[in-house]
Amino acid sequence: MLSKQEKIILKVLGDLKGESNPDEIAKISELPEVAVMRTLLYLSSKELVIVDEKGVSNLALTNEGKTSLANGLIEKIFIKGIKDKLPLNELGLSEEEKNIAIGIARRNGWIAIEKINNSLSFSLTDKGKAALNEKTPEETALEDISKKRIVNDNLVNLLAKRKLVEKKLDTVRKIFLTELGKKEVLKGIEITDEISELTPDMLKNQNWRNITLKKFDVYSDVKIFYPSRKHFVNQAIEYIRKIWLEMGFKEMSGPMIDTSFWVFDALFQPQDHPARDMQDTFFIDSPRFGQIDPKLSNKICAMHEHGGDINSKGWGYKWDKRISEEYVLRTHTTSLSVRTLSTLKPEDLPVKFFSVGKVFRNEKLDWKHLFEFYQTDGIVVDEDANFKHLLGYLKRFLNKMGHSKIRFRPAYFPYTEPSIEVDIYNKNKGEWVELLGAGIFRPEVVVPLLGKDIPVLAWGPGFGRIMMEYYGLTDIRQKYMNDLDMMKKLPIWIKG
């Protein structure tokens, strides 16, 4: 598809037998020179024309040279002034020019100089008078140069010394039609009007058939439009949720502000456990205490104090109900797992649950630490589940998260036994990195809630790190900084 200008120029070239130059084309097409050049480049990129460029050294008049050509050389102005008996300072020459003019006039034998009363007096010689009516070789040369005629080198040098001419490097372009271009011309070129925008009117009256839309420079930069989107953390959460759902897990939910009972005691964490310290846990000021189910609390109390009615020693201390009634911001979503277990009936099994939610740690905010972050937890409640199954689920789960090289290591959590730490291999760092904790809930946790010792497989992967890596964040606080500019430039989460 050729633009209107391209068509015009091709037509001109065709008329000129396929050979021309930009000046000529501009003259004939009546297009501005810049437009001709730009269009020629487009045509050449379409291989319709060849633009042949050569550098040529050219003589040109300087500004002074141009003035001299119009007004005469200064030596001529000078002798004319003498003839007209004008005072020397009214000739419009500078002191320097005047001295140069006197020098040249004297060398040429145009003037006679007398000294009268300490000042110089000039008079024209016959030669001088004659010179007034004829052109000097310099004048002729100036004129020739301005008309691009060839001029004697001595004169050129003389004029160059007087800074009336200079040597310039010019580009000379010759334009040829290529074979393709010639074919295009032969096909016949029809020139129609060019329009910048299509309008509803044109569509209505079908005028669009008679016009050509002006070409756009598709390479030029434009203002970028960024799409609105869900928050990038939520995009990653959706991905995690999808993994759980695909593996047949059912979502569980529960409070973010919960009693210590569900966050710690039901998970068999002794009441003097360091994780329950004020340093790690946010305690609620008002209301300070919540209600706990007395029947369940008795069972948990017995389990802590002496292992209840199962074959456990318990922790062997005096359990305090009041401590378990204190409200806290949950430190893990495992509180939801134990809440869920407490509602299950034997006929519900086997069943698998997951949760995703905010958890809280009373830590100083810095580039590595947040006081609240997302955690996800999953449990499998199955009479026949075992340790190998836990490893199987973990392996599948991590494969889905994109980790193929993984390692299982013994670990410790107060509420699981056996406990596993899962490492993934970081290729870039060449080392194992901890990713998640897992285990089988202890009988001390399960029996009071389910009434029976059923294996409950549990794991809780962190996904903060994969989120940071995916989005290329370097400071964990960027997650909740809500910098609109940064957020709209982040990539969309496409893992899944």
Partner 1 sequence: MPTVNFDKNEFISLLGKAVDDQTLSDRISMIGTDLEKVNPEIVVEVFPDRPDLLSIEGFTNALKGFMGIEKGPIEFNVHTSSYEGAVDPKVKSVRPFAVGAIVKGIKFDDDTIRSLMQIQEKLHITHGRNRKKVAIGVHDLDTIKFPIKYTTMPRDFSFIPLEFDKNLTIEEILRTHPKGVAYAQLLSEFKECPIWIDNNGQVLSMPPIINADHTKVTEKTKNLFLDITGTHRKSIEYALNIILMGLFIRGGEIHSLKLNEDGKDWIYPNLNREKIELELSYSNKILGLNLSEDETAELLMKMRYGISSKSKGKLVVEIPPYRADILHPIDLVEDVSIAYGFENFIPEIPKIATIGQENSIEVFIRKIEEVMVGFNFFEVKNYILSNEDVLITKMLDNKRKLVKTRNAVNTEFDTVRSSLLPLILKTLVSNTHYEYPQNIFEVGVVVPDQNLIEKQYLSCAICHPKANFSEIKGVFNGLLSSFGLQYSVKEGEYPYFIGGRACSLEIDGLAIGKMGEINPEVLYNFKLEMPVSAFEIDLSAIFDLFKEKIQG
Tell which positions 250-309 bind partner 1, by CB under 8 A. Answer: 250-251, 253, 255-257, 272, 274, 278, 282-288, 290, 307
Count of other CB atoms within 10 angstroms of residue 320: 12
Binding positions for partner 1, 40-69, rule CB under 8 A:
none
Residues 324 and 278 sit within 8 Å (Cβ to Cβ): no
Residues 292 and 324 sit within 8 Å (Cβ to Cβ): yes
Task: Work out how close the CB of 403 gets to partner 1 at its nearest, in angstroms, rounded to a whole number.
Answer: 14
From 7-15, 211-219, 393-401, 462-470, span contacting partner 1 (CB under 8 A): 393-401
Task: Work out how close the CB of 233 gets to partner 1 at its nearest, in angstroms, rounded to a whole number.
Answer: 6
Query: Going by C-beta distance under 8 Å and a sequence separation of 6 or more, which residues neighbour residue 76?
Result: 131, 132, 136, 139
Which of 17, 313, 368, 429 contacts partner 1 by CB under 8 A?
313
Q: Is 155 in the site for partner 1 (CB under 8 A)?
A: no
Which of 129, 230, 405, 495 contacts partner 1 by CB under 8 A?
230
Residues 476 and 462 sit within 8 Å (Cβ to Cβ): no
Token duo for residue 251: 């979502």
Query: Going by C-beta distance under 8 Å and a sequence separation of 6 or more, which residues neighbour residue 362?
Result: 278, 279, 280, 281, 282, 371
Q: Is 344 in the site for partner 1 (CB under 8 A)?
A: no
Q: Is 367 in the site for partner 1 (CB under 8 A)?
A: no
Binding positions for partner 1, 169-228, rule CB under 8 A:
228
Q: Is 436 in the site for partner 1 (CB under 8 A)?
A: no
Token duo for residue 481: 């900084």
Token duo for residue 80: 């004319």
Q: Which is nearer to partner 1, 99 or 386 (CB)?
A: 386
Amino acid at 245: L
Query: Going by C-beta distance under 8 Å and a sequence separation of 6 or more, which residues neighbour residue 401?
Result: 243, 461, 463, 466
From 37-45, 57-65, 206-214, 418-426, span contacting partner 1 (CB under 8 A): 418-426
Question: From CA 263, how far away is CA 255, in angstroms rounded?
Answer: 10
Task: Work out how close the CB of 277 gets to partner 1 at its nearest, in angstroms, rounded to a whole number.
Answer: 9
Q: Is 375 in the site for partner 1 (CB under 8 A)?
A: no
Q: Is 386 in the site for partner 1 (CB under 8 A)?
A: yes
Q: Is 402 in the site for partner 1 (CB under 8 A)?
A: no
Token duo for residue 244: 């759980």
Q: Which is nearer to partner 1, 229 or 495 (CB)?
A: 229
120: helix, strand or coil: strand
Question: From CA 262, how far away is CA 452, in angstroms rounded?
Answer: 19
From 6-14, 78-86, 158-166, 356-364, span contacting partner 1 (CB under 8 A): 356-364
Which of 33, 166, 475, 483 contacts partner 1 by CB under 8 A?
483
Task: Work out how close the CB of 343 gets to partner 1 at its nearest, in angstroms, rounded to a whole number.
Answer: 14
Q: Is 231 in the site for partner 1 (CB under 8 A)?
A: yes
Tokens 């990653």 sit at which residue? 236
Q: Which is nearer to partner 1, 59 or 454 (CB)?
A: 454
Q: Is 468 in the site for partner 1 (CB under 8 A)?
A: no
Which of 116, 218, 224, 484 contacts partner 1 by CB under 8 A?
484
Q: Is 470 in the site for partner 1 (CB under 8 A)?
A: no
Question: From CA 35, how far away is CA 9, in angstroms rounded?
Answer: 10
Q: Is 430 in the site for partner 1 (CB under 8 A)?
A: no
Token duo for residue 299: 């069972």
Task: Work out how close the CB of 448 gets to partner 1 at its nearest, in angstroms, rounded to a whole number.
Answer: 14
Torsional sign, CA 322, 325, 331, 337: positive
Count of other CB atoms within 10 angstroms of residue 304: 24
From 37-45, 60-68, 146-154, 438-446, span contacting partner 1 (CB under 8 A): 438-446
Q: Name which of 198, 194, 199 is nearest 214 in CA terms.
A: 194
Q: Which is nearer to partner 1, 202 or 487 (CB)?
A: 487
Q: Which is nearer to partner 1, 169 or 492 (CB)?
A: 492
Task: Give me the residues paired with residue 289 across strands.
Answer: 326
Q: Is 329 in the site for partner 1 (CB under 8 A)?
A: yes
- Any idea what the Cα angle at residue 157 is, between residues 152 and 162, rounded to 5°? 130
Token duo for residue 212: 């050509």
From 136-144, 172-180, 463-471, 475-483, span contacting partner 1 (CB under 8 A): 475-483
Question: From CA 433, how far away is CA 301, in angstroms rounded?
Answer: 38
Residues in contact with partner 1, counted by CB under 8 A, come to a total of 92
